[in-house]
Every structure is written in C-alpha cells, then in structure tokens.
Structure 1
C-alpha cells in the first residue's frame, strides 16, 4: 500500500475532538487569566465549537458509519494489523517511533500513537477501499498491457545511503565498507541527513523522486551492490541497493493497485453514498444545518 487516502476519517480534526471531549461539568472554571481577564472552559469550548464544530460533527457521524461498515465487512484487528505491517514494509520502517515520525513529517497526520493510525486512518481506508473496489475486475491481459506501457515508471529501488559533506570523507567511508564494516553503523556515525538514525535506509522510490545523479546510480546498481561516492547538490552519497523491482512478477502487486485506483470509485463518492444510505436522525434542531447529508 503506497498511497494513503488522506480524505479518510478521524484525521484532520482528531486534536479538536480530543480537546472538546473533556468534563462538561467544569465549563465555567477559569483555565487562563490574561491581564485580569478570565477565560473559562465554556468560552474555550464555545470557540472550538464555532470554529470547528460542523466539521467535527460530520466526521463523528462518518466515523460511526464507517465503524458499522467495518463490522459488516469483518474488517477486524487482524486485517488492520496486516495492512499496518504492509505499510511499514512499503516504507522501509521497522519500529513504531520511526513510523510516527514519518506520518507526522511526511504525511502531516496529527496521530500521536500507532493505535491512532490504525483506527483513524487504516481502518477507514480498508472500509472505503472495500466499497470503492467492489465492482473492479482486473484481468491478466490488462495487467500485462499496463506493465508494457508503464514499465519505466513502475520500476522501483529500495536503497540506503551514507551522505557526507566532502569527497575525502566519502572515500574514507567507502574504504571502511570495502573492508567489511557494517553499513548501518557507518551511516549512523557519518551520515549528515535524517536517515542516519535508520541506518541510512530511504525506503522504496521510483524514477523522478530523487535528484538525477543519485537516481541514475541507484537504478544502475545491482541488488547488494555499493556505489562509489556520488556527488549531488546535497553532498557525497555512498549508495547500496537493497532490492530492485523490475520484472512483471515483482511489480504485479503494484500494477494491480494502480489499476484498482484507476477503476475504483472516488473516496468522496463512497463517503457520500454511505451518508445517503445511513439512517441519520437529527435530534437537536439547531444542528440541522450542520450535517452534510
């Protein structure tokens, strides 16, 4: 699974829902005093309600519908865990702390724990995908044709690197690697970028995602091969290719996912259909205009 459905539920206003879910009995208590002016909890929550209430209410309703569908499709903790492990594998992430850093920095997801990610992102995504792809049929002929037409774009490399500032240091590191020293340990010691703490691992990438000298070298190496120092605008890289996916067999799963994405219903359409089909009763008339049914 390479792409996150960032339109899925429970993400954009997760922090707001958390903030609004406190004990309502203490609404009139002062939480901040500014220049002798008191700000009460009721005022604070009122501001959140005015600013984000409509969006949060709709997300809460959608979450309820999604959870009901998850039960119907038997999307249980085992299926979510399987998707979770697949996500970690695709992005070359081993431990939970690395995963949370990736989600917060690269995907800008306000998730504070792995459980949040599983429940608020992966589970809704599985439900939406189940519905969106229900009528999709992928033939062997379609997969082969897609492979032939998109071979270069589909090819991917999984690699790690050691990035240093000057060529002399790069040559020193390369000599140590040739002498049998551990790549990951040297990356932690020498590398100047954020991948150092992960042993230099960069995960998997396609053509066009890296700067040209780096990309050209990475795609020219064989699996397990380590490059000589490669200069880019970032410094000098020593690259090791961990895995290459070039054949139809190696890329078949990615091809199926791409074809499914092309043929599946848009996530927004799925959500709207679920809202239309749900039995939603607005008990408090003041919220009638809030719910986007």
Structure 2
C-alpha cells in the first residue's frame, strides 16, 4: 500500500518518535462508503503541528496525548472532506485545470529543487498524475464546502431584534478605546536626502493650503500618494496602538478640526487632520450593528452547515477502525 506525498511526509512523524499509532502508519483507519482513509494521510495533515509538538512537549506522555487529539481532528477533517467531495461530484462541479496546476507549483516550491521533488515523489510511490488527482479532489471538497456555507449565509435572516438582543447581552464586546477619526495626506519619497528635502518642502506648501482653509479631502485627492487618496485621505477611526508612537503622540494631541505639523516617516512625509475625537467608551448600537449582523449570520450559517454535515455523515456509512 503506497504512502502519501507531503513536504515533510512521514519522515517528520518518525523523527518525532513512534508515539501514537506508531505501528500503523500505512493502515486503513477509516472508510467513508467505499473510500478509504489511511493513517499516513492523517499524519500528512498534521505533520508540521506534530513536529512542533515534539519540540514543545514536556514528556512522552504529553506528546502522545496531544498527538492523539491532533490525529482525531485530522480524522474528522478527512471524513468531512470525503463527504464534501462526494457531494461536489454529485452536483457536477469541476475544477479549473489551471488552478490545479497552480497548487502543484506551490507544492514544488516546498522543495529545494525539482530533483528533490521528483525523488520524494518516487519514494512516496506517487506519480504526478496521482498528485494532480489528489490536489483536484482537495480543491473540489474545499470549494464545495465554502459554497455550501455561503448558501446557508444567504438563507439566514438576522432581525433588528436579534441584533439589539445581542448588543444588550454582550456589552463588553462593544467598548472602544480612545480614538480619533482622521484623514491624511502622504507624499512618498526615496531615502535620498536631497529628494526627501524637496518632498518635505512640497508638503509644507500643502499644509499651508490646508491651514488657509482649503478642503483637506480635496487636497488629499489631488496630492496624496497614499492608498486612501481617492477617499479624500480618509483613514477612519484609529487608536494609539494602530499608529507608531511618534505619529500617535502628534495626532492624539490635536483638537478636533486641527491639522498636524509635517511629520516624517521612513517612507515619506505626512500630515493629518483630526475630524473627531472620542474617549474610551461604549460603542453605539448603529456602529455595533456593522459588527453584530455578520457575526450572527456567520454563526447561524455555521450551525446550519454543521447540521447538514451531520445528516450527510449519517447516510455515508462511516466506519472508524481503532488502533490496537
């Protein structure tokens, strides 16, 4: 029975020590209908985590216990993937060949050279056609699962009463720190000292326009090279933690409506305008709604998906073989 190819493969498991199920690396651990799941497939799924666990485990007992948890999780993932793959095939879904080839290129990049990749393929007893088919199945299962979740999200109805109830029952989730609503004008420059000086002088002229009453958003659209220029330089609400200390100190010292001095950054020069300031406090319902609605929708969709998966599993003739 051939093993399966992984960028660390079974070698990591063997280096880590025999551990859990160490004698059944190539055994069949479960079946989903006529589809088999090999122990080596589970090890491939958790190999990086298993190796990390070996480095951190205090003793062999702790390693075995936590490795067992990882293997169980991998088992559930493998079973679910078999079910999702079956449903995807029944639905007539196909995968773009270009996407499969992209994934194979990504796998090859995990190896030092094409020769090493081919050597490991041969050692695993797997051809490029085998790998291509396996990757295709992985993409099918994942894509179908995501599509199913999105479908459930569209079916879910989140009412204003639901949002209001969640807001009232979870007040600690809707507390914001001290923050300011700001716009910025950013001029990028290279490290060259002469160029930095020229750009600084240009920014000083722009600041004079802003101080003279020119519309800051219009100035940002005209002059800024920052990604938010098209939005009038709007960064939105920022906290101290979201800015480097020097910029945070300058911005949070400004009153509402004020424009900062020209400030240096490693990448250029910047000026900020503070539109509004708020002390730390509770978030209003209108603002919290933007956070609550997708959260409740995702939770309800996840519950629907879990229920659907349980129903599919019941009719999938799943058998799990315990290690002896």
TM-score category of the 2 structures, normalised to the smaller one: 0.3 to 0.5
Alignment TM-score, normalising by the size of structure 2: 0.42
Larger Rg: 2
